Amino acid sequence: MSTLGSSSPSSPTAAARPRASRWPARLDLAQSLSGLLLGLFMWGHMFFVSSILFGKDAMWVVSRAFEGYFFFGRAYPGIVAVAVAGVAALIVLHAMLALRKFPSSWRQWQAFSEHRRTLAHGDTTLWWVQVATGFALFFLAAPHLFQMLMHPEAIGPYESADRFWTGRWWPLYLVLLFAVELHGGIGLYRLAVKWHGDAQRRRLQVLKWSLTVFFLVLGLATFAAYLKLGHEHRERAGEIYTPTWAAPGAPR
């Protein structure tokens, strides 16, 4: 016998109750996965470009490896272009998903700013930094991706260094370095807190800032190496690098 006021699953009250949509959760999961992939790509990309710190030959080997040189016997820059197109598409997807959570009006921005000042909570401030750097990346990442998409063959010790110095891309790359590392590092930290829980928040904060400092130092050292090489090579800008073992007169 049912109690007074209860409603069975087949009652009109239960039938009229709307079911909660699963789409917000699905979109949130898609945002998390796309952010995770982009964050891991960011770290991998930094290691790849930092190969210049081990010498021009090391950077040449890494560049040609991504073009399939050691698999096909010749370089196919189109492979890089396809990878760049995939990254660009993932960035667009991630940005569209992230925009759902951005304040969409001046009143919302005011409410958030007041909330942030009142709480004085570190993670809330990190979210604000992530929003600001994400907005900056809308404008900073596009030129770089378009350059790589249209000229995937222009990646190498001399080619990349010439782009830094002679092409005068270094101001954009410097700002892009800080925006990407801060945005990606904060995003991966917030993902870890979200899916791992608050129990390890303090340890995750230490790990997050340790990784951010590490990649910023590595990025600045790499940035300086390309600037130095580009300055030294400025009189021969446009020259394609030939590894030492393939240069004329090199011992066979």
Q: What is the pLDDT of residues 56-101, one digit of tens each?
A: 999 999 999 999 999 999 999 999 999 999 999 999 999 999 887 7
Which token pair is 94?
């991630």
Report the alpha-carbon distance of residue 47 to residue 25 in Å, rounded.
Answer: 33
Report the alpha-carbon distance of residue 157 to residue 144 in Å, rounded.
Answer: 17
The upper half-sphere exposure of residue 234, i.e. CA atoms within 13 Å in the direction of its Cβ, equals 9
Lowest mean pLDDT among 12-26, 117-131, 208-222: 12-26
Which token pair is 59?
């950077």
Q: What is the pLDDT of residues 170-217, one digit of tens each?
A: 999 999 999 999 999 999 998 888 777 666 778 888 889 999 999 999
The pTM assigned to this predicted structure is 0.83
3-state helix, strand, coil in the chain (%, to 5): 80, 0, 20
What are the residue boundaries of the structural domains of the chain, listed by start?
Answer: 25-237
Select 25-237's CATH number: 1.20.1300.10, 3.30.930.10, 3.90.1150.10, 1.10.10.10: 1.20.1300.10
